[in-house]
């Protein structure tokens, strides 16, 4: 069993959202729901420990939230608080009773909140923040989310890192995927790509039908043009690491 990717887990906790099992109850903004204080719950049977754990849990979540709101969080502090939070949570959850992470079906409402939120501080979970740091550092992974990106709002885990990369490129490119690839070229003059200098680039693509020089050709050329434009925007021609699936 893999540990939960903690953007989902932490993000939900820090926003005070319920776990999946408590979905039907009312949402309290910014208050961490203490399901573990529910007397019916097995973990709460050991009352004093659970109460102590829960207040520590609240405290840790607050610390994490506060840390994430810093413009440049202290990485050591952040890592130690997160690891402590994991320990507390592990001790509160009976072995197999809880799902480690709310599964994606619960995510869409959260994802909508996430994507709709314009507050930069609130919208950065730890993973996206750290992804930002790594993107800014190397400027070489920016194309990767484009390869991995699915439909927007698929899940927080997928969306958060991509958001970081897209933010880097500028707000306009946030629309890149909504409009589809063709939308990128609506107002770009592509006549410069029609000369023979670009023949080598298009040789690697699927063969272009002879009798469809216009629109039908455009999709194949778009990929090469897209790659080239991405490189130009990012300012580098070479990638440190080739974009790969997942990891």
Partner 1 sequence: DAEIDLKKIINSALIVPIELEMGLPADIISTVEFNHTGELLATGDKGGRVVIFQREQESKNQVHRRGEYNVYSTFQSHEPEFDYLKSLEIEEKINKIRWLPQQNAAYFLLSTNDKTVKLWKVSERDKRPEGYNLKDEEGRLRDPATITTLRVPVLRPMDLMVEATPRRVFANAHTYHINSISVNSDYETYMSADDLRINLWNFEITNQSFNIVDIKPANMEELTEVITAAEFHPHHCNTFVYSSSKGTIRLCDMRASALCDRHTKFFEEPEDPSNRSFFSEIISSISDVKFSHSGRYIMTRDYLTVKVWDLNMENRPIETYQVHDYLRSKLCSLYENDCIFDKFECVWNGSDSVIMTGSYNNFFRMFDRNTKRDVTLEASRENSKPRAILKPRKVCVGGKRRKDEISVDSLDFSKKILHTAWHPSENIIAVAATNNLYIFQDKVN
Identify which of 126, 53, 144 has the alpha carbon closest to the alpha carbon of residue 92: 53
204: which 2 tokens? 């690697």
Dig out the tokens for 211 from the structure.
Answer: 């009798």
Name residue, tokens 């997160």.
82
Nearest in space to 57 (alpha carbons), one of 79, 38, 32, 77: 32
Task: Single out the segment in contact with partner 1 by CB under 8 A; choices: 15-23, 37-45, 68-76, 231-239.
Answer: 68-76
Q: How far is the CB of 189 from partner 1 (least distance, A)?
A: 30
Q: Name the minimum Å distance from CB 97 to partner 1.
A: 20
Single out the residue of 69, 84, 202, 236 in contact with partner 1 (rule: CB under 8 A): 84
Binding residue for partner 1 (CB under 8 A) from 13, 88, 159, 234? 88
Give me the residue label for tokens 């709310």. 102
First to last CA, the chain: 17
- The only residue of 16, 69, 91, 205 in contact with partner 1, by rule CB under 8 A: 91
Contacting partner 1 within 135-194 (CB under 8 A): 136-137
Angle, vertex CA 58, rays to CA 56 and CA 64, nearest 5: 100
Q: Give the interface segment with partner 1, choosing from 13-21, 24-32, 67-75, 215-223 (CB under 8 A).
A: 67-75
| x-marked contacts with partner 1 along 37-56 as a string, rule CB under 8 A | ----------------x--x
Under the criterion CB under 8 A, does residue 75 sit at the interface with partner 1?
yes
Closest by Cα among 75, 39, 84 to 57: 84
The window from 13-21, 76-84, 93-101, 225-233 that contacts partner 1 (CB under 8 A) reads 76-84
Question: How far from 3 is each of 95, 139, 195, CA to CA, in Å?
Answer: 13, 28, 52
- Residue (164 or 225) nearer to partner 1, CB: 164
Rounded CA gap, 11 and 68, in Å?
10
List residues near partner 1 by CB under 8 A.
5-7, 53, 56, 59, 63, 71-72, 74-77, 79-80, 82-84, 87-88, 91, 126-127, 130-131, 133-134, 136-137, 241, 247
């Amino acid at each position: 069993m893999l540990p939960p990717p903690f953007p989902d887990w932490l993000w939900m906790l820090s926003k005070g959202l319920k776990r999946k099992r408590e979905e039907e109850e009312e949402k309290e903004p910014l208050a961490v729901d203490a399901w573990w204080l529910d007397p019916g719950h097995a973990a709460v049977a050991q009352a004093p420990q659970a109460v102590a754990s829960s207040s520590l849990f609240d405290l840790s979540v607050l610390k994490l939230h506060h840390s994430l709101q810093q413009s440049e969080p202290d990485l050591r502090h952040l890592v130690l608080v997160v690891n402590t939070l994991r320990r507390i949570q592990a001790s509160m959850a009976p072995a197999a009773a809880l799902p480690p992470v709310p599964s994606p079906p619960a995510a869409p409402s959260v994802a909508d909140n996430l994507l709709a939120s314009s507050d930069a501080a609130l919208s950065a979970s730890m993973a996206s923040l750290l992804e930002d740091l790594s993107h800014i550092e190397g400027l070489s992974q920016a194309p990767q989310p484009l390869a991995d990106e699915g439909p927007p709002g698929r899940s927080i885990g997928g969306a958060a890192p991509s958001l970081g990369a897209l933010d880097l490129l500028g707000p306009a490119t946030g629309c890149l995927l909504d409009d589809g690839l063709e939308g990128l070229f609506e107002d770009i003059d592509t006549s410069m790509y029609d000369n023979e200098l670009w023949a080598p680039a298009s040789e690697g693509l699927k063969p272009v039908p002879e009798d469809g020089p216009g629109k039908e050709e455009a999709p194949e050329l778009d990929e090469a043009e897209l790659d080239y434009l991405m490189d130009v925007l990012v300012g580098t021609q070479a990638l440190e690491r080739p974009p790969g699936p997942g990891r």
